[in-house]
Amino acid sequence: MEDVLIIGGKRIANRLFIGTGKFSSYSIMRQVLEGARAEVATVALRRVDAGSKTDNIMDHIPAGCIVMPNTSGARNADEAVRIARLAKASGAGSWVKIEVIQDNRYLLPDNIETLKATEILAKEGFTVLPYMNPDLSVARRLVDAGAAAVMPLGSPIGSNMGLRTRELVSIMVREIKLPVIVDAGLGKPSDACQCMELGCAAVLVNTALAIAEDPVNMAKAFALAVSAGRLAYLSGIPAEAPGEANASSPLTGFLRKDS
């Protein structure tokens, strides 16, 4: 059976979403997207200028890759909504990652303002993927507001600290009927694999790729880890059995006292 993720009517086979910030050049960014065979890429609106006669990031997004503008820089719902509308008007499509951050030190998302923006944009026909602190009650409200998926953070943006919110994300996976996509903080391929083993629908990674010594091969490694974690989840990961031991091979019948 074909295993695809469907969001906003789009069929997505590659569950590694990639952010396009921090790369040393657009050329490297494109090689990363192509190397990982990415099907979804996030882009900050300030880097999109369809009318520019100079180098434009949109010219370096591979054909067929879904562009998901994010509302980076928005400090409240009104600003996020305005950025989303501008992105759509510029030709970037109707997908949008809602990112509302007032906290300048830890860059944690504002769930209340994110919910407000989601309600407005979903009613306008946007495919809304809100970035959020993992909170089950807020996630449920985002579902009711029309979100296409929910994107809880794994740890603070750019921290490379991995899935520090594991238990909260796991609860959301079990309780929320929308795709759960871990966004922010994943620092190594095993972090992405762990998310997928929990049943997450996808992960979004940027910093860990952009600052790697070899971004292209790191992207390939993340893509493999995502695929491995997804396959493990679908295969049924055995439950842990703390304090017990169960031999995989018989321990008796092969050795005799007189041997």
251 is a domain residue: no
Q: What mean pLDDT is reported for the chain?
A: 90
> Average pLDDT in the 138-162 region?
96
> At 237, is the pLDDT very low, low, confident or very high (cuts 50, 70, 90)?
confident
Q: What is the CATH number of the domain that holds 24?
A: 3.20.20.70
Per-residue pLDDT, 258: 60
Task: Say which of 97, 188, 220, 257 is annotated catalytic.
Answer: 97
Which segment of 25-29, 38-42, 190-194, 245-249 scores lowest on mean pLDDT? 245-249
Per-residue pLDDT, 257: 59
CB atoms within 10 A of CB 223: 21
CB atoms within 10 A of CB 199: 17
> At 34, is the pLDDT very low, low, confident or very high (cuts 50, 70, 90)?
very high
165 is a domain residue: yes
248 is a domain residue: no
Q: pTM for this structure?
A: 0.89
Number of domains in the chain: 1
What's the first-to-final CA gap in the chain, in angstroms? 52
| pLDDT tens per residue across span 90-140 | 888 899 999 999 988 999 999 999 999 999 999 999 999 999 999 999 999
191 is a domain residue: yes
| Residue 24, amino acid | S
Q: Residue 221's domain spans which residues?
A: 5-235
177 is catalytic: no
207 is a domain residue: yes
**Both structure tokens of 32:** 């990363």
257 is a domain residue: no
Per-residue pLDDT, 49: 53
Please say whether the beta carbons of 53 and 78 come within 8 A.
no
Coil, helix or strand for 209? helix
247 is a domain residue: no
253 is a domain residue: no
> Average pLDDT in the 21-40 region?
94
